Each structure stands twice: as C-alpha cells, then as structure tokens.
Structure 1
Amino acid sequence: MVGRRSLGIAIASLALMAAAAWGADYRLEKRFELGAGASLSLRAETGNVVVRGGGGSEAVVTVTSNRSDFTDVYSVVVEETGGGGLEVVIEKKTRGLLGWFDSSHGRTEVSVALPASASAEIASSGGRVEVSGLDGAVRAKSSGGGIHVVELGGDAALQSSGGRVAAERVAGDVEASSSGGGFEVRQIAGAARLRSSGGSVDGEEIGGDVDASSSGGGVRIREAHGAVVAGSSGGPVHVEFAAGNARGGSIGSSGGGVDVRLDAAAAVDLDAVASGGRVSSDLGVTVHGKVKRDTLQGELNGGGALLKLRSSGGGITIAAK
C-alpha cells in the first residue's frame, strides 16, 4: 500500500512537471486538508481529468491550459463542501449556440491528488478520465474520451460514450457501459457487469460473477471464477472458466460461434444448442436423449449448476481448460 501511494505521488508530480513543460497559459493550484473518507465531486466541460490517490491528508487540485482565452471561455470553481468533501467545476461561461460553437479546446488538464481513502464522482465532457490509487467508491462518466481506472480498493461504476473503458486491479465490483468503445477489464476481485454497444468486451481474472454483453463486437472472458452470463450480437463469444469453477451460466451469440473452456472435473449440467452450426465436445458428457449434430444435453461429472449455451451465428465448442 505504501509503495502504491508513493508511486501515485510520483506520477502526479511528473504530470504537473509535464504540464509546465508544454507552456501552460493558465495555471491554477489549490491545496486542502481533508479528513479520512473524503469525497471528490468533479465536473469538467473541457480537458483530460487525472485523479490519483496517495498518502497523507492533503488534496491538491491543479488546472492547466495552453489556451490564452481560457479564463474568457471557462469558469473554474474549486472549493470544500460540507462533510469534508471537495468540489471542482469547470464549465463554459456562455450557454446556447454561441458557447457550444467554440470547438477549439486547446490542451487542458485537470489533475487532482487525493488521500487514498477518498471516493470520487467524476463527469467529463471534454476529454479522457484516469483514476488510480483510491480506496473509496469511484463513479466516472465521460462523453469526451475513454475511461481508465487502476488500483482501486472499492467499487467502480463507469459510463463512456466517448471511448474505450479499461479497469485493472479493482478490489470491488465493476459496473460499466460504453457506446463509444469496448471494454478491457483485468484482475477484478468482485463481480463485473459490462454492457457495450461500441466495441468488444475483453475480461480476465474476474473473481465474482460476470454479466457481459456486446452489440458492437465479440466477448472474450478468461479465468472466470464465478457464474458467467455472456452474449453478443456483434461477434463470437469465448469463455474460459477458472480451475475448479463449476458455477455454470448462460452463454450465447447471434453474431458468431461460442467457445467454452472449463475444468474437466467440473460438475455441471450441459444444455447446448447451435442453430447456426454443430456442437462439439471433448469432455465426458453423459448424454440425455438422442445424440444430435446441433444439440448436446447431459451431465458432466454427475451434474450440478446449469451451463446453457446457445448460438445462431455459428457452432459451439466445449473443451477442457
């Protein structure tokens, strides 16, 4: 934990040095003493947002921009709120058509260093969002770029219409939706609920149950430790259950084939139907009823939780992990 916080402080310092290096015309820095469990509320209509947790109780908010007209176009509010919170608001001074025709955003960055115990709620319409090193819950919404969160100690709720969503090393649950890109999630200790209409879904090492769907690409889940519900209308679905996982699930695709890998010793009930191809398995399944090219229904190792597989876009393959 100490190493992680020291790294967060070092990265934040480098970010501030980099901002100075590209010659910011506008720079604002404010410092606050925050108690344990403080919260950040940040809304930005311009710029990339970088939020990092570190040691100590001090919060540092830095806003930099190379726009010479930054103060003419945007208002900046940075203040403490009741209950030990911190609020940052960067918004356009002019509303209506005149304000929104200003498309010259220049290069702007909002950087916030927080105590590691803090939580954060972020809304950005001007750029990407990066969050790391926080132990509290994180909620992030972006319509101006992608979202990347890493090393979080709590739950994460992420929504993007501006780019890809990535989450790594999260100790809680992850709930995310994207219409601007796909997903890449790795090393999630809790459950993962992922919805994409803008790209593929790629997940690995998920400790809880998985609920993943995509209408913009395929779905690929590896090292799943819980039950898996996965579906795609935009591509194939590949699911690999972790060793010893016999939690089952429901997996299907109307945009491609279905490929499932599971522990050969797992005890599950199988119900696989492919209307777009054949069903094949190299596992010792006790078959119920007639053997058919496009259907496999039976028990593996005496049966257990139901593993339901459906494909109307290709075949179904079931193999040992």
Structure 2
Amino acid sequence: MLSLRWFPIPVQLSSQSSSIHPKPQLRVSSSLHNAAATALRQEVKECLNDGFAPGEEALPAGLRREAMPRHVAVIMDGNVRWARRRGLPSGAGHQAGARALRELVDLSRKWGIRVLTVFAFSYDNWVRPKMEVEFLMSLFEGVIKSEINNLAREGIRISVIGDSSKLPDSLQKLISDAQEKTKDNFRLQLIVAVSYSGKYDVVQACKSISQKVKDGLIQVEDIDESVIEQELETKCTELPYPDLLIRTSGELRVSNFLLWQLAYTELFFVPALWPDFGKAEFAEALISFQQRLRRYGRRDL
C-alpha cells in the first residue's frame, strides 16, 4: 500500500467531523498522474473503511482506537545492561536504544497517540562517567542530524525539556533548530526530556511564580494548580499530563521524572530492557491501560 507521508504530490485533507478521529475528505490535484491518483484514492478509501486516518495503521488485536491514551510517557531504561549481557560496550546499548525509540515514535504516530514524552537523560545522570556522558551527548547530536528531516516530513513536532544550560553549545543549537523547524507539525508531539529532573521542574516553576509575585504581576492568592502548570516544563504541550507511564528494565520507580504531571497517570512496568522494547511490548502496555478504570478520586456507584 502507498504511504501518504512519502507521496510527493499536492494532497489536501480536511475534516468535516467532530469525532475524535474525523474522517478526512480527499482532494487530489488534477495534475496528478491517473495511476498514482487512483492508488492514492484507494489507500484513503481503505483507511476510512478501517476507521483510521491516512498515516495511521490498523491496530494490533485487542487495542481500541477510541480508548487510546492521548499522552504516553516512557522511562527508557536498560541500555547498558542490554549491552553488557551481550559482551558489548555501553555505547552499543545506547545506539540500540536509539533504534528502539525510532520504532516507538513510528508506532505512536501510526496508532494515533498525540504526545509521546521520553526520558532520555536525567539531570542526575551528569554524575556518570565522563566518557559515557560525552558519548550520549554525541549520540543525541547524531540522532537529531540524521532524523530531523524525516521527523519533520512525518508531521512530528519536537520539544525538548530540561535544564539545557549544561548541554554542549552545539547540541543546544541543534535542539533550537529542530524545535523551530517542526513547531507547526501536529501529527505527533515528541517531547524529549534531557538533563531533566522532576524536582528541578517544580523548583524552577516556584521561582518563576515567586518572581511574578514580587513584580506585582500576580497575587499570592491567585496561585493555584493552573498557575503552576503554566510554569512547568511541560507547558510546551496542550496535554501536559501523561495518561500512561511505561518503564522498562523491571525497575519499579519513577526516578524523579514528571513528579507533578504523574499525579493521576496509570503506571506500567515491563521487565524487557529498553532496546528489546518493541511493537508487542508497546501493545501490551496499551492494552493494559485500556482495561483500567480511571476514577480521578470519584467513586462509581
């Protein structure tokens, strides 16, 4: 089947429905070759018949599109252990982890998830061996350079959160350029937490609010959850609270990640090391999420 995201032709999709996944109306330029136009229309027809939009794909058995979490967060843990078990240097594990992330981004986009937040490098990780940290910074730069055009073409918006002051200048520049290049994309927002700490996030929000009180911009009695939310790093998205958090490698903790934002998030812990986390494991996590009843403090009668 043809893939719309790779089709270099003038295609317009417009929504005329208020449903969660509106059915797009297809208009193809008359200049398009008849055979290509026919194939493209057939793809859209099949997509609509199957209940998903162009660029998405049919879901694995057991998953329901209408119950898909809008925001999924992932603690990608286990790269070094994965490498050591195979007698490989730690860098090989991080490279394998980057490939696993690329697959997760593709699946999230195709399955209709709107926001994917991944914990790539904790602020607490700066204490790791210098060689490993330098390798990771180099890997981040390499991934951005090699993937940014593909991500932009796929309609993926890149956002990076965390204390960027300790990052190499070259990496800071790449991050800034990537965010600018993809700022108008809307198919999937990929939020990458680099040099991030949940405690730092809350502290910097408190400092910002305190300064606004000091400057007379707000009053102390004006401070509520919404004011704090607007100062957190996740203000970069319209969906700051993850519906589901996935952590790999069998560890059962959140490790200083999105401490405020995870208040009502469903948690899923999987024993697979991050480089081994693929389509089957992701589907299992999503199916588990869809089987849960989220009450937000309410009691069902």
TM-score of the pair, normalised by structure 2 = 0.26
Q: Which has the higher strand share?
A: 1
TM-score of the pair, normalised by structure 1 = 0.25
Larger Rg: 1
Highest RCO, 1 vs 2 (Cα 8 Å, sep ≥ 6): 2
Q: Which has the higher helix share?
A: 2
